[in-house]
Amino acid sequence: MTAGWTEDRVGALKKLWLEGQSASQIAKTLGGGVTRNAVIGKVHRLGLSGRAAPSQPARATYRPTRPRPAASAQPTQAPSAPRRIEAAQPRPVAPTPPPPAPMPELPGTATVLTLGAHMCKWPIGDPSSREFSFCGRRASEGVYCGEHARVAYQPQVRRGGKDGATELARSLRRYI
């Protein structure tokens, strides 16, 4: 059911809106099938943006009272004489256990399920076999360990003895 916006209803809407009532409160007051959304839509179409008061009632905020430091006329106490500090008895120190022996980094110990972010991802073996694994050592250069990075990342070899003209002629012969 759509609300019929008569001049009386529009006038009441404007008055209630400027008094700071919410859209729900205005809809209840107007009645006759006027919904909250209908009130909001009409307010926007009429261009009623400002309100005289907030739509929510002002709440009293609870602020606990803080004790204020009293300005006393009493002189402050002088610090007491220094106390003698007894020498503390040394506590017995428990011997620390030796660090665990480092696990040898054996290539081929990582599987897809155990491969971590900082482990070498060099594949070892045939991917279709059950023995397939990854290197698994600590990755130092990109995604590979030092040994496998030297294989994976070959430095670019510059061809010696050829000048630019010879190289250009060679390239042009491909297209002729």
Given its phi and psi angles, is residue 45 left (phi above 0), alpha (psi -120 to 50 degrees) or beta?
alpha
pTM, rounded to two decimals: 0.32
pLDDT of residue 73: 56
Give the Å distances, CA to CA, from 149 to 32, 59, 77, 115.
79, 68, 73, 17
Q: What span, in angstroms and rounded, lies between the C-alpha atoms of 117 and 81?
A: 62
Helices 23-30 and 36-46 pack at an angle, to 10 degrees, of 110
Q: What span, in angstroms and rounded, lies between the C-alpha atoms of 88 and 142?
A: 53
pLDDT of residue 51: 65
Three-state secondary structure string covering the chain: CCCCCCHHHHHHHHHHHHHCCCHHHHHHHHCCCCCHHHHHHHHHHHCCCCCCCCCCCCCCCCCCCCCCCCCCCCCCCCCCCCCCCCCCCCCCCCCCCCCCCCCCCCCCCECCCCCCCCECCCEECCCCCCCCEECCCECCECCECHHHHHHHCCCCCCCCCCCHHHHHHHHHHHHC
pLDDT of residue 36: 92
pLDDT of residue 114: 86
Per-residue pLDDT of the chain (176 residues; tens, 9 = 90+): 556 888 889 999 899 988 888 999 999 998 888 899 999 999 999 888 766 555 565 666 667 677 776 665 565 666 666 666 666 666 777 777 666 544 445 666 788 888 888 889 889 888 888 888 888 888 888 888 888 888 888 777 666 556 667 777 877 877 77
